[in-house]
Amino acid sequence: MATESFITELDKVFEEAKGKKPEELLFTYKGVLYPTTVCDAETLQALNTLEVRKDDVFLVVYPKCGTNWARQILNDLVSAASKNKLEVSPVEREQMLEFRVPEKFQKIKNLPSPRIFITHLHYDNIPKAVFEAKVKVLVVFRNPKDAAVSYYHFYNKNPSLPSFTSWDEFFQKFMSGEVCWSSYFDHALAWNEHMDEENIMIITYEEMKENLRGEVKQIADFLGFSLSEEMIQTIAENATFQSMSNKSQETHGKFAPVLFRKGDVGDWKNLFTEAQSQEVDAKFEECLAGTKLGTKLKYDKYCKY
Ligand SMILES: Nc1ncnc2c1ncn2[C@@H]1O[C@H](COP(=O)(O)OS(=O)(=O)O)[C@@H](OP(=O)(O)O)[C@H]1O
């Protein structure tokens, strides 16, 4: 039932987008682009009034870096850790933080604990109360080249976003940060400053690809969940790209082929020119090389030929 209503919401977004002209699909709030089909200025402004609970869990991911992947893992972990105590399904305890939802703040107040908030917002735009209350924040990053390619395909497949006529055109927008939720590099720089805080855990898409079971276990430990090895294994098996994309029609309806594309590391090599690759290398060198997050991204392994 809960999944059905989630799919109904996604379908509505598709329908609403079809009736809009390209220039009506985006708006800017405090210098950042957002899609009009799911966000509005009123909701973004009202986020500052969010009443945070100590046991809330936040999942923060720059677009296309593994939001839906980590979302499923989190939901499964919460579900497993709360088994027998759960009266509602995981989907009924989660909320996309910045999305416009009817009666949003009333709905949020009524969500049972532990609530899961998912967001693409920049660190600075996440309500301060989240950090003051020291709730658990899981952050997922992905190498910038694959994130850019995934974002390009998403723009072109998703009716809620304007299409680009070429990869080259999108690449320039990605590099200048003129994409929804703004610059990848600004997001990474901001999180790099907070990597050592005990309530924050940063993982990468590539680490999840390398050792999914190990990452699921680390997330469980971070959340303070003590689960059997078998349970961790089952959650990891259900979170492979194969397994999630096989079920995606059920879980995401029409949005499935838009969200579950390739799920690979290194797809950037199919689109990047040598010059574009060097441009990202230079940007990475300028802002992230030698930083803790920069090192965690294993740039040389995943972003060099
Ligand atoms: N289980 C699993 N394993 C590996 N990869 C996965 C998985 N689930 C989703 N994906 C890939 O993640 C990309 C979508 O990222 P997001 O979920 O962050 O997209 S969104 O910002 O919420 O629209 C998108 O990447 P690309 O395939 O490169 O486009 C998805 O295919």
pLDDT tens sequence across 92-127 = 789 999 999 889 999 999 999 999 999 999 999 999
Active site residue 122: no
Angle formed at CA 30 by CA 24 and CA 32, multiple of 5 degrees: 55
Nearest residue (CA) to ligand 1, atom 12: 66
Q: Residue 60 class from Cβ within 10 Å (0-12 exposed, 13-18 middle, 19+ buried)?
A: buried
What confidence score (pLDDT) does residue 1 get?
42
Q: Which atom of ligand 1 is nearest to the CA of 66?
A: 18
Question: Measured from the CB, is residue 260 less than 6 Å from ligand 1?
Answer: yes
Q: How far is the CA of 150 from the centre of ligand 1 (A)?
A: 8
Can you tell me the distance from the alpha carbon of 110 to that of 93, in angstroms, rounded to the nearest whole number? 9
Cβ 159 under 6 angstroms from ligand 1: no
Q: Residue 72 belongs to what H/E stretch?
A: helix 67-81
Cα-flanking dihedrals φ and ψ of residue 293, to 5°? -70, -40
Please say if the pLDDT value at position 2 is more than 80.
no
Q: What is the whole-number distance in angstroms between the Cα of residue 96 and the centre of ligand 1?
A: 16
Q: Which of 120, 122, 187, 252 is catalytic?
A: 120
What is the chain's mean pLDDT, rounded? 94
Burial 182-209, CB ≥16 within 10 A → b, else e: bbbbbbbbebbeeeeeeebbbbbbbbbb
- Give the per-residue pLDDT at 102: 84
- d(C-alpha 64, C-alpha 220), whole Å: 23
**Ligand 1 atom closest to 244 (CA):** 1
pLDDT reported for residue 65: 98
Q: Which domains does the chain have, with CATH numbers?
A: 2-143+185-256 (3.40.50.300)
Q: Are 119 and 126 in contact (CB under 8 A)?
A: yes
pLDDT digits over 133-147, tens only? 999 999 999 999 999
Sheet holding 94-96, edge to edge: 94-96, 116-119, 57-61, 136-141, 200-204
pLDDT value of position 84:
57
Q: Is there an atom of ligand 1 within 6 Å of 123 CB?
A: no
CA of 101 to the centre of ligand 1 (A): 23
**Looking at this protein, which amino acid is placed at residue 60?**
V
ipTM over 0.85: yes
Which amino acid residue places its CA nearest to atom 6 of ligand 1? Answer: 263
Query: What is the 284 CA–ligand 1 centroid distance (Å)?
Result: 22
pLDDT-based confidence at residue 14 (cuts at 50, 70, 90):
confident
Dihedral over Cα of 75, 78, 82, 88: its sign: negative
pLDDT tens digits along 178-205: 999 999 999 999 999 999 999 999 999 9
CA 78 vs CA 63, 199, 232, 259, 288: distances in Å: 23, 17, 12, 23, 33
